[in-house]
Structure 1
């Protein structure tokens, strides 16, 4: 029975990461198991937990998979992430990563809209410049047309610069969010 308890405790020490194990593990070695509880999710058994000194100890991998949290072990560190991989190999987002992905999607929509406005502004600029060239080629230019066209050209160039700056900033933020999401992947 001692070997069984020691085996369970060693296994839990390697794969468990609950706050209960934050204290000294040495006091658990040789401790009497007070009970074994079944872990269930939606009525389906997913594993067992043991009770020692009134505290439940369950395998972290079992709990993380049930909660949809990614888990990796690197050396002596157990890392949980907000992104996990489902049975079909697709990434499933948790609440924190979902918020980042939503922000990223909104920024992509903003970028798309800004690119549409940028294209329209560039086309308007070309139209104004062509009209200014045509007005200058006239034998008698239209009174005030050149000044109005130059004003529109200046305003449109300023709008183009503003849109290009907004697009670059949004694209940089999208890349930053992608880096954060990639760091969350198991």
Structure 2
């Protein structure tokens, strides 16, 4: 009997400790949503919805990144945001020679994976934007005037062009990085 009580108490303590640890590791787990706000640009373009938890707004990262023209990559459990200029300056190599530690083979391979991820992300965004265009066309009643419908389609086309620029930039970057990777290293 004492053995059963000991096992039950030990199990309860271990389970209670793990629940307490999970709650302590993120104050958002199990927290109550206190409200819902619309996130929009200054021109009134809706980006998405943000939930309010413990007095802080939490918005969808991809939609916010796309709205502000920031590149987004996901590596494991990390979300990395950078703009095109940062990527270009990080990987610039003067006179074709490698003198910086960031030009190591591992760094170049990392930049290749990042560029491939950017391309994949932009292609996915374009697919989503194309779907949005179809929805605008299929549900004209959502747009009270023809001008609002045309404005929505124009905005979507503008976002598609921006994503295509990201793809083009990263495809060029991939060619350059793969060339660097294929070059023999100089001692």
The answer to whether TM tops 0.5 is: no
TM-score after normalising by structure 2: 0.37
TM-score after normalising by structure 1: 0.38
Question: Taking CA–CA contacts closer than 8 Å with sequence separation of 6 or more, which of the two structures ends up with the larger relative contact order?
Answer: 1
Looking at CA atoms only, which structure, 1 or 2, has the larger radius of gyration? 1
